[in-house]
Amino acid sequence: MNFFLETIQVLLLSLWYNVESFIHIFVSKKKKNIAGEVVLITGAGSGIGRLMAQEFAARGTVLVLWDINQDGMKETAGLAKQSGASRVHYYLCDCSDKNEVYRVADQVKREVGDVSILVNNAGIVTGKKFMDAPDSLIEKTMEVNTMAHFWTYKAFLPAMIANNHGHLVSIASSAGLIGVNGLADYCASKFAAVGFAESVGLELLATGKDGVKTTIVCPYFINTGMFNGCQTKWPRLMPILDPDYVAKKIIHAVLTDQVFLLMPKSMYLITALKNVLPMKQGIMLGQYLGAFNLMDTFKGRSTKQE
């Protein structure tokens, strides 16, 4: 195809996609049926992981829970059964350990079957300035928040590709789109998680595996205890998010094959402005929004698992 014809095609398709997006403002997208799908959630022992497990359970899925907290998983499993899960399995797994991920993944395949919806949710935060953070904690942040996604994809994506069916869900962060003072290692890990998920999603499309969907979730701070002490400068514009609201929005994004989910909605505008404003103006915007001081009152919690 020559340059002129391909350019016309791009312009016409761009127009149609914009019309389609406008229509979906008023007409909801059709939700897919996930009953019977095998859903694996990492970091399922508490917080958003637990709430997502309950939401997926209510849709008749088979749940596989991973966490380092066995008591937390047992509680999540009980709640998931009450919510309607057809089956619930849970496994102790340290997602930062590649060999353990592969070992437990093989066990899941033998005992449960192929995973068709993978939710990479486990995450940790040090809450320290870069120069104050011990090397071991920086490495652990990258291992849990980023490298674990590589290993779980390696373990479960081949079956999805073979069947041309599945869904990859990455619970990243708004800190994976915009840098935050005092969160250097966390931001780095989440930027990497976003880039990794987006790139693999493109690989799948390029190879014709359009039946394997990708959803990348970038929420602002969530009120799960992970970022205890942090305060938002403008609560109406950038509120601390309610965990139940976040879990429901994530499930809706999965059911409608939404690729990017940013929360709150103001993040769509803020991210767009960051990419088009001059650098000095972007820094000024970040300071105005509180990116320089968000972590000043950080306390966190002893178990910083999302």
By annotation, the residues acting in catalysis are 186
* DSSP H or E stretch at residue 87: strand 87-92
Q: How many CB atoms lie within 10 A of CB 55?
A: 22
Alpha helical stretches, state H, the chain: 3-26, 47-57, 70-83, 98-111, 135-142, 148-163, 184-206, 243-255, 266-276, 279-289
Tokens for 48?
């958003």
DSSP-based three-state secondary structure for 195: helix
Place of tokens 């496994």: 91
* Full DSSP string of 101-130: HHHHHHHHHHHT---SEEEE-------S-G
Helical pair 279-289 and 266-276, crossing angle rounded to 10 deg: 150
Phi-psi region of 238 (alpha: psi -120 to 50; beta: other; left: phi over 0): beta
As to burial, measured by CB atoms within 10 angstroms (0-12 exposed, 13-18 middle, 19+ buried), residue 136 is: exposed
Helical pair 148-163 and 98-111, crossing angle rounded to 10 deg: 30
